[in-house]
Chain A
Amino acid sequence: DAKTTQPNSMESNEEEPVHLPCNHSTISGTDYIHWYRQLPSQGPEYVIHGLTSNVNNRMASLAIAEDRKSSTLILHRATLRDAAVYYCILRAAGGATNKLIFGTGTLLAVQP
């Protein structure tokens, strides 16, 4: 499985934008870039995913580099409830059966 590299932790202030980086230099052409987050004592929650183009949804935006070797999850206005561990994961297409391997993720702290 292609691996991802993320900073161990980041800090942000409430109401400010947050850019969470992820490197995936060995990504293959069929890999989707997925982001999940996990709040304390809860199961992970889907945030966003993309293949080549930048993506936006109600939770966040995903900016994908042109060579696809890196991506950035953007939270436009951080709130205290966004404090969580954010995981960047690669997953092959067509794969309800394809397993998801979690890396260490980025622990995001949001200061009031």
Chain B
Amino acid sequence: GAVVSQHPSWVICKSGTSVKIECRSLDFQATTMFWYRQFPKQSLMLMATSNEGSKATYEQGVEKDKFLINHASLTLSTLTVTSAHPEDSSFYICSVADRGLATGELFFGEGSRLTVL
């Protein structure tokens, strides 16, 4: 069964609105979650590392005020795309690692497809 669940699977919104995407770890507590973005026919690009109880760490070039990440519990991280514009349309994917696994296999959500009109 699924280890990581994302919601919603897809969302369409108007330009200027904000959209929240949830990522839930179903099988274990995740102190760290990762958020990726993927444009069509491209690879996954890491956006940020979400840390439970503290601020997220953003990759270079990713605007932290644009992509708000909240990791308030050990099973839930949220990504909010604020004032979305058409160029933010993308496939957003979260992943978690079971901290009990030293070799660090990552589990990925199903992805959330955002379309901004």
Q: A residues engaging B (CB < 8 A)?
A: 32, 34, 36, 38, 41-46, 49, 51, 85, 87, 91-105
Contact = CB atoms under 8 A, between A and B. Distances in A.
B34 A99 contact: yes
Contacts of B99: 96
B113 to A, nearest CB: 8
A100 B111 contact: no
Given A32-B104, A34-B105, A49-B105, A96 B97 contact: yes
B60 interface: no
A22 to B, nearest CB: 14
Interface size class on chain B is 20 to 34
Which 8 A/B pairs are nearest by Cβ-Cβ distance?
A43-B108, A96-B99, A96-B97, A102-B44, A43-B111, A97-B32, A102-B43, A44-B108
Contact of B98 (A41, A96, A100): A96
30 contacts: A32-B104, A34-B104, A34-B106, A41-B91, A41-B111, A42-B111, A43-B6, A44-B108, A45-B108, A46-B106, A49-B105, A51-B103, A85-B43, A87-B43, A91-B103, A92-B104, A93-B103, A94-B102, A96-B31, A96-B97, A96-B101, A97-B31, A97-B49, A98-B104, A99-B49, A100-B34, A100-B95, A101-B46, A102-B43, A105-B43
A44 B93 contact: yes
B110 A42 contact: yes
Contacts of B108: 36, 43-45
A31 B98 CA distance: 18
Contacts of A45: 108
A91 B113 CA distance: 27
A78 B4 CA distance: 27
Nearest to B92: A43
Contacts of A51: 103
